[in-house]
Amino acid sequence: MPKVTDEMIAAVRETKTKTERVFDGHFLHIDCDTVTTASGLVRSREYIRHPGASVIIALFDDETILMEFQWRQPCEKAFWELPAGKLDPNEKASVCARRELEEETGYQADQWYYLGRIHNAIGYSDEHLEFFLAKGLKAGDRHLDEGECLEVYRLPFKEVKEMTLNGEITDVKTIIGVYWLEKYLKGEMAAQAC
């Protein structure tokens, strides 16, 4: 892979000249930037502002993982997903991961590892996801947000992996998390204790 140089960035950089807030929602916001492209054209760029989120891969010693099954209104269907949740203002991703695991599943973990970051919708959002591996799990009580409805299942990792391959799981964060967990279990991906 080539090393990114200043010249490479200059060839594609867009310079923002104005930002207009088009929509201000509860946690999502839509901005429209006026930019000048590297070739000198003036264009508009609409995108969603998102605070970011943490994704948790809760792994048991027997290589089962926690999965959630919940309704997602934008797609009008229920999805299998890894536990995840958005960051609160000024919240560290590692703190968010611990909070969300307990709130949504009732579990706490003794061991936490950082796996990495993705930008899951770069064409229309600044959203980023931070992935964490949780081990040494202990069951407890869930504390769902008001109106939050989801079911928690403990599934064999091999089964979840097959669900990503056969199209039963289509959620991108879950597919990436399963891929990274497979790499971690094979010793092909390092995880940083946190």
Of the listed 7, 76, 146, 188, which one is catalytic? 146
At residue 146, the pLDDT reads: 85
**Same domain? 25 vs 88:** no
**Domains: count for the chain:** 2
Domain with 177 in it: what CATH number?
A: 3.90.79.10
**Same domain? 85 vs 103:** yes
At residue 57, the pLDDT reads: 99
DSSP the chain: -PPP-HHHHHTT--EEEEEEEEEE-SS-EEEEEEEE-TTS-EEEEEEEE---EEEEEEB-TTSEEEEEEEEEGGGTEEEEE--EEEPPTT--HHHHHHHHHHHHH--EEEEEEEEEEE-TTTTTB---EEEEEEEEEE-----PPTT--EEEEEEEHHHHHHHHHTTS---HHHHHHHHHHHHHHTT-S--EE-
**Same domain? 28 vs 67:** no
What integer is the mean pLDDT of 91-106?
98
Band of the pLDDT at 39, cuts 50, 70, 90?
very high
At residue 147, the pLDDT reads: 84
> Does residue 172 sit within a domain?
yes
What's the predicted TM-score (pTM) here? 0.94
**Same domain? 86 vs 36:** no
Q: Which domain holds residue 135?
A: 53-193
At residue 37, the pLDDT reads: 97
What integer is the mean pLDDT of 51-58?
98
At residue 157, the pLDDT reads: 99
> Does residue 21 sit within a domain?
yes
pLDDT higher than 90, residue 1: no
**Same domain? 60 vs 38:** no
At residue 145, the pLDDT reads: 82
What integer is the mean pLDDT of 82-109?
97
What integer is the mean pLDDT of 94-109?
98
Residue 159 catalytic?
no
Mean pLDDT of the chain: 97
Band of the pLDDT at 50, cuts 50, 70, 90?
very high
**Same domain? 141 vs 109:** yes
pLDDT higher than 90, residue 136: yes
**Same domain? 108 vs 148:** yes
Reported as a single tens digit per residue, the pLDDT across 154-174 is: 999 999 999 999 999 999 999
At residue 36, the pLDDT reads: 98
> Does residue 1 sit within a domain?
no
